[in-house]
A and B are shown apart, each in its own frame.
Chain A
Amino acid sequence: VIERLLESWLDSASERSYQPPFCQMLLADGHRVVHSSRHSAIEFGKDIVTVAPDGTVCAYQLKGKPGGRFTGKDFQSILAQLLQLVTGDVSRPEVPAGAPRRNILVTNALFEEEAAKALDEFNRGLPAGYQKLEVLNRGDLLDAAKRLGMALWPAELADANALLELLVTDGRDVLPLERMDALLTSTLGLQEDAEKPSNESVRRRVSSAAVLTSIGLKTFSEQGNHLAVARGWVMFATYVCAAAARWNVSDARLTSAIDLAVEAALAELAWLTEEVRGEPDTWDRATWFHPLLRDAVFTEVTGWLSLYWVESQRTGWRNEDHRDFLRSFLPSDAQRLALWGEGALPQWLAWTWFLRNTEGNLHPEQQLVSLLAALLRTNGPDAKLDPLASPYYDVSEILRHRLPGLSPREEDSLARDTAAGGSFFVRAFLHLVARAGRKRTCQDAWPEYTRIAHREFRPAERWRFCVIKTGHGQELSEHVPLTGRWADLYAEARNTDTPGVPEPLRARPFLLAAYAMTCPWRATSAVLRYLSNTYYGPAFFG
């Protein structure tokens, strides 16, 4: 079944969607990936640059032709790019000077005889001293994927079902986290009763999981559902962090696998930016049929693209055009943003990071104060307003609760779950306001703050933080002492330690923030303080 699925996926994949797993296959073969980016201008014809185990520098250009044949005409149409691929230098610090070189055209199509002739002519016409162009086609890619370890792929029916269930999900919908969880848990050996695998087995499982993730995200990729695909790669990366932490494996291959997945998620955000830029009046048309849904999607897009903006600002822009475009696209006020539940708060917070990076005034700080005030107003034990539902609910569940006729036979657990009197985020937002040195605001907020139970889930082991839900751990529900001291609050607010977060995740703020937006119940006060320190700036020094 899996082999058929693999063929079907490969035959329908664009070069965008098979680039991440192809990189993971190269990693599995011992390559060091030194460049992989599709969301910037192609680096002189090279989509991927690796250093092979024998030190050879390999430059790849990927061409997707879903379900097709690569003809001589196709070859002729990309001659200029191929010439750049073969003749251009690879001037990267990671590449040893004078290293032997290979140039490879990769396609998921069948390479026709005419194309083979054109390739032969191309190579014969190359000036002396340049390495010939090689081709990896559909058959080679299939063999490589199978070689990765079919034996490690889901063999049990239940595991194969996890993949099949993902594949039958409507690609226009949100990513079903539970189905991704089932797929990654079984592939990476994270089941409760799993025995410790060898380090090599963990590495092979990671490579297999990367290919399965690509297959599982197929319908979402086909629909251009960038946020769903980005979330898929974020989950893959956090689950690899979980495997590394659980089995105590730490090496360059796992690190590269995580980094490539992060890069794939960033690429999706870059493409989303392109889509929004290309269709400014219609990009969100499909959500116009309900105002809450429309505004929730706008909030979600604002959150993710704000994160893309601040991360690019921190680590360097892959596409300079996006900087200016997003500055004009992302909202400067909260008018169109929806606070539909606590699950939206990480998205709002990312937006305040963007504001902080683009506005030199008190506006971002005032947004933090407003969010704190909103939480105190809605989630106090005697609040007159509807409380913000816990972050375990997404916007579709909120809508189902508000509009019972939508799906009358689905369980409305929100009806039995009281959010009044408790909050997963009020502590974090008090801390973020305190970090800004707003002592008076904190003093005003304090009486209401003491009435609210501060909730947080603490997984029993670190690796469990990286999986979407776990049966092992404690939920903390804390009322703070009635009388507090500013000095203590401020000290706590400045603390950027993240106990319970595995180091590979902490070391990648983008991944941690993206995970917090994917699973907002993992956005603890410690996580948000740390991320705000990275993206919003250090605490006010008072």
Chain B
Amino acid sequence: MVPEYPRIAAGLNWCYREYVRREVGRHLGHLSEIRSVLQFEGTETVLTRADGSRENVGMVRIEAGGRVFTRTSTLDTILTELSSLALDMAHQQSRSVYAAMDKVCEESGQTFDARGQRLDADLFLKALEMVEIDFDDLGRPRLPTLVVGGGPDAVRTLLSQQDDPEVKKRFDALISDKYEAWRDREASRKLAG
């Protein structure tokens, strides 16, 4: 056999894995901001929500493959290939996250079929009505992230309406209602008896 330099190989292996991990995070974009929790045992999590509803969440396998190291590979080709693997993994991961979100929203009646209508302020406010919104210590709403497919064109109408006084009035009223709901929710956090 020829020398395999196992310690160097182990170090490089660690560097490549870190690179892939960072690339996956970069490709995931806003999804990488979601808090992750590691599970050390078992293959399933049972979530119980405050309203008593339960959900079994299983594991989803995410994998990607390719020929990274060849006799002719250069450092550039290695990194390009690893980046491509990372992109593939990020796609699988985001598809899996959105599929899970779809399932939860469907089950809890939080979906709204726009029937092909372009996203505008009316649609946005209707969707927002379905969402539970929390507020910070200063009473500022913690608004959810809006994910829209179809590129910048898809949100052009919505953006053009954001300064419309009527839209602003409806938005403020909605936030005011959400604030009341949040206060009621917070007030109900008590141990009675």
Collect the chain A residues with CB atoms within 8 Å of residue B46's CB.
474-477
Collect the chain A residues with CB atoms within 8 Å of residue B52's CB.
481
- Asked if A481 contacts B51 (CB within 8 A), the reply is yes
How many Å lie between the Cα of A446 and that of B189 in the bound state?
7
- Asked if B10 contacts A477 (CB within 8 A), the reply is no
Residues on A lying within 8 angstroms of B by beta carbon are 382, 390, 392, 409, 411, 413, 416-418, 420-422, 442-443, 446-447, 450-451, 457, 459-460, 469-487, 489, 521
User: Which listed residue, B40, B48, B136, B189, touches A469 by the CB 8 Å rule?
Assistant: B40
A479 in contact with B48 given A446-B190, A484-B191 (CB within 8 Å)? yes
Collect the chain A residues with CB atoms within 8 Å of residue B42's CB.
457, 459-460, 470-475
- Asked if A447 contacts B41 (CB within 8 A), the reply is no
Stretch at the interface among B30-38, B69-77, B90-98: B30-38
- Asked if B191 contacts A475 (CB within 8 A), the reply is no
- The smallest beta-carbon distance between B61 and chain A, in angstroms, is 14
- The smallest beta-carbon distance between B57 and chain A, in angstroms, is 9
28 residue pairs bridging A and B, Cβ less than 8 Å apart: A392-B38, A409-B11, A409-B14, A411-B17, A413-B38, A446-B189, A446-B190, A447-B186, A447-B189, A450-B189, A460-B42, A469-B40, A470-B42, A476-B46, A477-B47, A477-B48, A478-B48, A479-B50, A482-B185, A482-B190, A483-B188, A483-B191, A483-B192, A485-B192, A485-B193, A487-B193, A489-B191, A521-B40
Collect the chain A residues with CB atoms within 8 Å of residue B56's CB.
474
Collect the chain B residues with CB atoms within 8 Å of residue A446's CB.
189-191
Given contacts A475-B44, A477-B48, A483-B189, 11 further A-B pairs with CB under 8 A are A392-B38, A409-B11, A418-B37, A420-B35, A447-B189, A459-B41, A459-B42, A474-B42, A481-B51, A485-B193, A487-B193
- Asked if A483 contacts B190 (CB within 8 A), the reply is yes
Collect the chain A residues with CB atoms within 8 Å of residue B44's CB.
474-475
- The smallest beta-carbon distance between B140 and chain A, in angstroms, is 13
3 closest A-B pairs by CB? A478-B48, A447-B189, A473-B42
B115 at the interface (CB under 8 A from A): no
- The smallest beta-carbon distance between B97 and chain A, in angstroms, is 15
Closest residue of B by beta carbon distance from A416: B36
- The smallest beta-carbon distance between A112 and chain B, in angstroms, is 48
A-B contact count (CB 8 A): 101
A417 in contact with B186 given A409-B10, A446-B191, A485-B193 (CB within 8 Å)? no
How many Å lie between the Cα of A516 and that of B50 in the bound state?
29
Collect the chain A residues with CB atoms within 8 Å of residue B36's CB.
416-418
How many Å lie between the Cα of A421 and that of B48 in the bound state?
14
How many Å lie between the Cα of A68 and that of B54 in the bound state?
65
Collect the chain B residues with CB atoms within 8 Å of residue A392's CB.
38, 40
Closest residue of A by beta carbon distance from B56: A474
How many Å lie between the Cα of A382 and that of B136 in the bound state?
9
- The smallest beta-carbon distance between B115 and chain A, in angstroms, is 35
